[in-house]
Chain A
């Protein structure tokens, strides 16, 4: 059998595929963060908690209201989005003029409160959520056994990422949004309701996190700590991609997922660190990130 760096090519391809799955999660979460940072100038530390809330919404819906996976995929992000809008209206909107640090502290505090609340109610070990029947089983790709559910994660998250990118970069609405970021006062002078757009943007970013949460629920245990395990890596992804860059965060998310996946084969102990090593290198060479604009 042919080998790459001493690893059978089949195993190599398998790990590549898994990296792609994880990369899709990174891409979706970092996309939400990038959108929020780009439009609101807020470093949203509550993103991991919102992702966790999304997963719990799916679980609660299934357990208490008999809402299945597919409905949850729509309803949970909606709930999380509305929750995001509430956060923006009641708390965040007072902070835009202040230093980044205030937004960071507020959202970090929110994340701690949310996690604490869920731990109190549900415990830390979490709750199981089964894979929907339509997606159980696996594809035999020849080189690996790919669960259908993981394939669905790749397809759906890439779809969502592409749609978001398209809306922001290629539509009228996106043009308003970008204008509002560039120069809020002038945009408002043209009769565009900037506060409304900002509010919806945060809601949308939160909904993206909620969507990722529902996608993750069948694959990993629905636990109050699931967000904090992931969020630091996602922040690194955003920094590497360039703060606020939409395309950058998508491509870096997928890329880093793959690199991390390969590290798990060659040097598993370093798999938690490799993203940060890359971050350090990128910051030394391109301080604004791979896709960021230097200002």
Chain B
């Protein structure tokens, strides 16, 4: 209350002094133009399928937490969070996004795991000129060939995953690799990116086997990986497929002589595998709840509501929503072009990222973390799963802007 009075007094004082510029600055935060007289944020993801534990209802809760932390109102008008299930199907996601933009007046869409759906929605958002802050999808195409002036790729991508895990493992002596790859766009991209990093760091790729999505049994693929005699088995898959690959690898004694590398693992995967099975695996993470006091506080708040610790995707949804709201406030409007202009020049400092920024190609650049899954005896409390091996500095973690194939960059 005191602060409000102070701000009011200062504004009045400045106004009477006639410093118009300063007055405008103070007023910016209080009034602005909003389409539909409200800010509407759409969380779209897989609500009940293979990726539901990564984002799902937890992401909706994270977005609501961000709105609450922002104060619940924008220029005195309501902020609403809506959500939808894209069922991992690009057509379902794209038509829902159209409906959101055209009929319901959604201003920003976030989360959207599953690379194929993510690309489809990037196209819709570009066509309708609305902000799209993707946290859930891995494909680096979002900031390369499929980039758009309205896309922000917020949390991670296949380049960062490959670069983090691939490079670190080769450096620690894991020279020969074999890939077990999910047979669709995401798996192929992750395998290709990692293979490139492995070769560039002086490693060798012995081969790969492609399995259908949601395969019911992985033992056959693991036997092929075993026969390859590669030191490292790279798992270029996600969710349930990764979990079942790891389980089968343990059962067939693969882990005695070879090391598994989960190229995309979420904390929910480790949780459901259990430390006994997952111990020793290396992975690249964008955020971990047990990093510092701020992240722990956020993690516990989330846990109180969802009964599980947030995945990095869910933390990113929180951060993206908050960053978006701050940008709208600063721009004084929810007009996408104005908001994007603000987004591309502000530093992001919150529970998810320190000193993060959005590049010209839409890539949000921030530190990444190389983690190793703890042994059961080293885990002191629930969800104490990772040992930090290395902080990968923002500049190293992501694809250099010079290598981006984003057509937007060439126009200039």
Contact = CB atoms under 8 A, between A and B. Distances in A.
Interface of A: 8, 11, 14-15, 18-19, 21-22, 116, 119, 123-128, 130-131, 138, 144-145, 147, 149-150, 219-221, 223, 225-226, 229-230, 233, 261, 264-265, 268-269, 271-273
Given A11-B227, A131-B251, A225-B240, 20 more contacts: A11-B223, A18-B217, A21-B217, A22-B217, A123-B268, A124-B51, A124-B240, A126-B240, A128-B276, A128-B277, A150-B219, A220-B216, A220-B247, A221-B244, A225-B49, A226-B216, A264-B211, A268-B211, A271-B215, A273-B212
B16 interface: no
B223 A223 contact: no
A132 B48 CA distance: 31
B216 A230 contact: yes
Interface string B84-119: 000000000000000000000000000000000000
B251 A261 contact: no
A268 B272 contact: no
Interface in B141-176: none
A18 B223 CA distance: 9
The 8 tightest CB contacts between A and B, nearest first, are A272-B212, A125-B272, A264-B220, A128-B274, A125-B53, A124-B52, A229-B216, A123-B53
Nearest to A222: B272
A89 to B, nearest CB: 29
20 contacts: A11-B223, A18-B217, A22-B217, A119-B52, A124-B51, A124-B52, A124-B239, A125-B240, A126-B243, A126-B272, A138-B252, A144-B223, A145-B226, A150-B219, A150-B251, A219-B217, A220-B247, A220-B248, A229-B215, A271-B215
A277 to B, nearest CB: 14
Contacts of B244: 220-221
B35 to A, nearest CB: 35
A271 B182 CA distance: 13
B208 to A, nearest CB: 9
B251 A147 contact: yes
Given A125-B272, A221-B244, A265-B224, A21 B219 contact: yes
A225 B50 contact: yes
Given A147-B252, A229-B216, A230-B216, A128 B273 contact: yes
A245 B127 CA distance: 56
A84 to B, nearest CB: 22
A127 B308 CA distance: 14
A11 B228 CA distance: 11
Contacts of A145: 226, 252-253
A61 to B, nearest CB: 17
Contacts of B269: 125
B295 interface: no
Nearest to B223: A14
B206 interface: no
B369 interface: no
Contact of B210 (A18, A19, A268): A268
A269 B219 contact: no
Contacts of A125: 53, 239-240, 243, 268-269, 271-272
A225 B216 contact: no
Interface in B196-232: 209-212, 214-217, 219-221, 223-224, 226-227
Interface of B: 48-53, 56, 183, 209-212, 214-217, 219-221, 223-224, 226-227, 239-240, 243-244, 247-248, 251-253, 268-269, 271-274, 276-277, 308
A225 to B, nearest CB: 7
Contacts of A271: 211-212, 215, 220
Nearest to A270: B212
A149 B251 CA distance: 9
Contact of B240 (A18, A127, A223, A230): A223
Nearest to A127: B272
Contacts of A18: 217, 219-220, 223
A21 B378 CA distance: 36
B53 A225 contact: no
Given A116-B48, A128-B277, A271-B211, A219 B251 contact: yes
Given A149-B251, A264-B221, A124 B211 contact: no
A22 B218 CA distance: 10
A232 to B, nearest CB: 10
A15 B243 contact: no
Q: Which of A145, A268, A272 has the most CB of B within 10 A?
A: A268
A46 B253 CA distance: 35
B272 A123 contact: yes
Contacts of A221: 240, 243-244, 247, 272-273
Nearest to B270: A125
B240 A265 contact: no
Contact of A269 (B52, B210, B239): B210
Contacts of A144: 223
A220 B227 CA distance: 22
A252 B52 CA distance: 35
Contacts of B243: 125-126, 221, 223
B48 A124 contact: yes
B209 to A, nearest CB: 5
Nearest to A116: B48
Nearest to B51: A124
Nearest to B219: A18
A249 B148 CA distance: 53
Nearest to B256: A145
A23 to B, nearest CB: 11
A8 B226 CA distance: 13
Nearest to B271: A125
Contacts of B56: 124
B52 A123 contact: yes
Contacts of A219: 217, 247-248, 251
Given A123-B53, A127-B272, A220-B216, A268 B209 contact: yes
Nearest to B220: A264
A22 B248 CA distance: 13
Contacts of A261: 220
